[in-house]
Amino acid sequence: MTRLPETIFGCFGALSMSLFASASQAQTQITVWSDTARISTFEAYDAAHPDIDLELLTVDKDELVTKLQLAMRAKADVPDVIFMSSSNHPAQLSTRRTDYLADISDVVSQDIFDGFLPNANSVCSLNGGILCLRNDVAHLVMWYDKPLMDELGVEMPETWEEFEQLGADLTARGEGYFLGSGVQPDIVIGMLGASGCEIGFPVDGAENTLRIDLSTEPCLRMAGLIDRMLENGSLLRFGTSEPGLITQASAGKIVMSIGPTWFGEYVMKPNYKIPEGHLTAAMPLRWADEDKPVAWSWGGGNFGYWKETKYPEIASDIITWATTQEDHLINAVTMPAYEQPSIAWGERVNNDPYYATNDVYDTMLAAAAYSSPHFASLGYDMRSAFGKTISASLSTDGKLVDLLSVYEKELTNAARLAGYKVE
């Protein structure tokens, strides 16, 4: 009799232990840090893989590096897989000080790498290794108001020279038409980069070495163009999200704007209030003496995983799945970087009645072929250096040509501080 309670306890104990054991055998726990937009991707993976249990945590874009630093320093709760919203995260998370990202160049098969859009993984290629897979591509294309251009009787430019001429013609009418922002850091940097201006190009084969030279002809040529267009008012001295530009754009005065693949859907449609049937995309511009355009990028996220994770196979499977699976990417918020699901996703964009033509995605896909291989992940922020040295002056009455040398100095200092050799 006295033994009964013990027996009961024993039974329960055995039962619960076996349950626990089977549960832990069945499911591998993987910790994932994601932004809000990518949660659905990870949930889809979780649902498709009953043997894996993803523990999801939403981390703000600006806090990712901070939180990761703390977790790694505390040696606790370091996530196995992360989504990186910024193109600079891969570089920031693979330094001597913060050595988080695993090199996947020998883990992920070559077929997968080959399936990405051209240069999509340029931000993931650092010092000979590949540290992440690109989720979405965000190269700059030309967004324009088609009915407005027809009404004005003007053609979509193909070269920078035509772009400048169009700006001059339109402003000469004095009706307030303009061609976008001439001071938005991402756009100006994009224009300089597309022109071949070495604003921080990684040197092939040399570890942590950058080329920063803003005194060359490609820089001066583009800066001169921007200055002239700011001077005559065809590019505004307001950023893309500043009230000054938004007011004029909402008044129907914006004819076109350089913008990344997500610019139409997430900036021009909601902020500039471009009505349905107006907006469409065109190829990025080139110089008249060059035979093809170059597209710089603005944004795009990446998946990577911890080099010390206990489950590297699962982690690499997650990031491969997340970037290549058509079923969930077809509903992605931005243009997938992997070609095949990207095309499936593009069907939706092409058929979107909001756009004036049904080839918006085709244009973005064609433009992807010209993505710059120099668009890299860097350990410092090119944009804040721009804000520090250029914005104040350029937004009032300054000339970009005069500011390039200060910007070059700031970029060089910032690069050296972040541990780069500058050529």
Partner 1 sequence: MNKTSQAGTIQVPKDRMKRRRRQQRRGLVASYLFVLPYLCLLLMFGVIPVIYAFGMSFFDTISGVFWGITNYKMAFQDYRLEEAIYNIIGFVALWVSVTIIVVTGLSLMLDILSRRVATTIRTIYFLPGAITSSAIVVLWLFLVDPLVSPFQAVFHMFGWEARQHVVNGLGMVSLFAIMSFFAHSGGWIIVMGGALSGLSREVMEASRVDGANLWQQAVYVKLPMIWKSVALMGILTLAGGLQIFVEPQLMGMAGPQYARSDWSVNQLAFQYAFSMGDFGISAALSTMLITVSVTIALILIFATKFYQVK
Please report, as ranges, the residues that interact with partner 1 according to CB under 8 A. Answer: 65-66, 69-70, 72-73, 92, 95-98, 183-186, 237-239, 241-244, 247, 379, 381, 383-384, 386-388, 391-392, 395-396, 413, 417-418
Residue number, 69 or 165, with CB nearest to partner 1: 69
Nearest one of 378, 412, 413, 304 to 92, comparing CA atoms: 378
| CB hemisphere CA count around 297 (13 angstroms) | 31
- Least separation in angstroms between residue 391's CB and partner 1 is 3
CB of 316 to partner 1, least distance (A): 24
CB of 383 to partner 1, least distance (A): 4
Q: How far is the CB of 239 from partner 1 (least distance, A)?
A: 5
For partner 1, the closer of residues 137 and 245 by Cβ is 245
297: helix, strand or coil? strand
96 vs 173 by CB, closer to partner 1: 96
* Angular region, 198: left φ>0, alpha ψ -120 to 50, beta rest: beta
DSSP letter (8 states) at residue 60: -
CA distance 142 to 261: 9
**CA atoms of 375 and 323, how far apart (whole Å):** 20
- Which is nearer to partner 1, 29 or 241 (by Cβ)? 241
Q: What is the DSSP string of 241-281?
A: TSHHHHHHHHTT-B-EEEEETTHIIIIITTTS-PPTTTEEE
Closest CA to 197 of 163, 160, 170: 160
Which of 4, 74 has the CB closer to partner 1? 74
**Phi, psi at 215, each rounded to 5°:** -105, 5
User: In the bound complex, what is the minimum distance in angstroms from residue 176's beta carbon to partner 1?
Assistant: 15
Cα angle value 281/356/177 (rounded, 5°): 70
> CB of 398: closest distance to partner 1 in angstroms?
10
355: closest CA among 272, 253, 283, 265?
265
Whether the CB-CB separation of 64 and 36 falls below 8 Å is answered with no
Q: Are 307 and 99 in contact (CB under 8 A)?
A: yes
Structure tokens at 226: 């921007």
The residue among 235 and 337 lying less far from partner 1, judged by its C-beta, is 235
Q: 154 or 415, CB closer to partner 1?
A: 415
* Shortest Å distance, C-beta 235 to partner 1: 14
Contact of 232 with 178, CB cutoff 8 Å: no
> Rounded CA gap, 222 and 308, in Å?
45
Nearer to partner 1, 69 or 357 (CB): 69
Nearest to 406 by CA among 221, 212, 235, 210: 212
Choose between 318 and 390: whose C-beta lies nearer to partner 1. 390
What backbone phi and psi angles, to 5 degrees, belong to 301?
Answer: -105, 170
Q: How far is the CB of 105 from partner 1 (least distance, A)?
A: 23
- Measured CA to CA, the distance from residue 229 to residue 193 in angstroms comes to 18
Q: How far is the CB of 82 from partner 1 (least distance, A)?
A: 15
331 versus 384: smaller Cβ distance to partner 1? 384
Shortest distance, position 166 Cβ to partner 1, whole Å:
25
